[in-house]
Every structure is written in structure tokens, then in C-alpha cells.
Amino acid sequence: MRRKIVAGNWKMNMNHTEGLLLAKAVDDFLLKKELHSMEVILCPPYIHLSQIAGLLRASNISTGAQDCSDKESGAYTGEISAGMIKSTGAEYVIIGHSERRSYHNESDELLNAKIKTALKNKLSVIFCCGEHLDEREKGNHFNIVKSQIEKAFNGIESEDFANIIIAYEPVWAIGTGVTASSDQAQEMHSYIRSIIKEFYGKKLSEETVLLYGGSCKPSNSAELFSMDDVDGGLIGGASLKEEDFCKIIDSFPGK
Ligand code: PGA
């Protein structure tokens, strides 16, 4: 059985006090509920990571960063390395989010280098892929996603791919309130699984966790998560509200 994961991408939200309160509330919820068959990952801004990692008590909650540098260390003002992230107690890092691709011009080659650095530093990677609206309208969405995956994992061996989670996040659904239908999500997730099978074989394709992201909220999470190839969600806006995020966690069929 594949792991079930709900990850919260806080983006550039929550000051330090607010962040600690939210993390504690989610941790309390998980302690009370004992939903042990699923994992929750909180991805706050870097500066909260260390303290949040220290306060979490539930066994199935962990932390991740929202990005990392492709460099190991050195004179790169403002950058944060994968090794630094690991040293906070975090276990994950999001790489390739569409906001980084668009606003920071992150190329597939750069993302490939970031993934390699993250894996070398023993972080698991939540790799984001997904098409823009015009690409879907032209019927190009499968090609786009395949190319993103192919380039990002160039040179990554099977042993390392075991530490990869893929989040399908159609750009037109991120922060827009428009969600992919559960059929659209399932169709793409099943396609992504077929790509992994082609590159890494059947076993890894069946084991890889595929998350859906893009306006996932309490009103649609149960339906999305009920699809065969949707193993959870990467949640943006709704992860900032304790009640909504906990409802999403709780909406997993079978939990
Ligand atoms: P959203 O963001 O849930 O606010 O649409 C998802 C994401 O960007 O990961």
C-alpha cells in the first residue's frame, strides 16, 4: 500500500508566532485523532522550520522547506542550502513549484541540480509539475508534464527516486479557486505513473506517492483523494486555516 500524505505549503505567509500556533494546532489534532496510516508534512517559510520541527509530537507529522539552493554552500547571499534545511530537522523539500518556475525563472536544468543536491543531503523531494491553461487547451498537457519529469530526473538513479514524491499541480488551478476535476486529476496521475514505469520500472511506479495540488479544499478533497492514483494533496491556501487543513487531513477515505 502506498503512503497517504497531506502536505501544507504555507508559501510566504504566517509570521513566527502565527506559524508556531498553526503548527501546534495541527500537531494537537493529529495526536488526538491518531490517524497513523497517513502522514502530514508542514512546509513553512525557512525561518520557522527549526522551531516547528522541535515542537511537533505526533509521530506522523514532519516538516519540509519550500525550496533549496542548487549549491552546497558559499557566497550566495540570501540562499539556503539543502544541508541547512536538513540540520533544522526537516525531512522534505519542495522543488519546482510553479511560482518558483514563473517568478524566479527556474529552468528544468536548475531544478535537476536542486533535486540532486537535496537528495545528496538526505532530503526527500516533493517535485511539482503541471501545465498552464493554454497548454491544456491545446491538448499539450501530457507532453508538458512528461518533459518536466524527464528533465528534472535526468541522471537520478532508482535508489534515489525512491525518495521522490511527485505533486501534480495544474498551474491554472493554483490559488484560483478552480480545481481540476477528480477525473482530470486521476487521468494525469495515472499518466505520471506510466512515465515512472517507463523510466524506473513497475515496482517504483506503484510505490511512488503522487499528490494533487491546486485549490484543494475541504469541499473537494474527499473526492480527489478517493481516486486510485491520487495519494494525497499539496495544499496551499487551505493549509493556512487550521480548521480547513484538519478537515482535509480527515477527509481521507479509510484514513
Ligand atoms: P493552492 O496552492 O492550494 O492555494 O491552490 C497549492 C500550491 O501552490 O501548492
Protein residue whose Cα sits closest to atom 1 of ligand 1: 236
**CB of 221 shorter than 6 A to ligand 1:** no
pLDDT at 136: 94
Query: Which ligand 1 atom sits nearest the alpha carbon of residue 239?
Result: 3
**CB of 236 shorter than 6 A to ligand 1:** yes
**214/143 Cα distance (integer angstroms):** 20
**16/29 Cα distance (integer angstroms):** 20
**CB of 201 shorter than 6 A to ligand 1:** no
Query: Can you read off the three cell numbers belonging to residue 130?
Result: 503541471
Say what angle helices 108-120 and 141-152 make with each other, to 10 degrees. 50
Which one, of 192, 194, 196, 176, lies nearest residue 184 by Cα?
192
pLDDT at 151: 98
Fold classification of 4-249 is TIM Barrel (3.20.20)
Segments of the chain with pLDDT less than 50: none
Segment 4-25, tens digit of pLDDT: 999 999 999 999 999 999 999 9
Q: Cα(109) to centroid of ligand 1, in Å?
A: 24
By DSSP bridging, strand 38-43 and strand 92-95 are unpaired
pLDDT at 254: 64
Domain ranges of the chain: 4-249
**CB of 235 shorter than 6 A to ligand 1:** yes
Catalytic: 97?
Answer: yes
**CB of 214 shorter than 6 A to ligand 1:** yes
Q: Cα(128) to centroid of ligand 1, in Å?
A: 11
pTM of structure:
0.97
CA distances from 33 to 77, 139, 251, 252 (A): 42, 43, 12, 13
Q: 39, 48, 97, 189: which one is catalytic?
A: 97
Segment 87-104, tens digit of pLDDT: 999 999 999 999 999 999
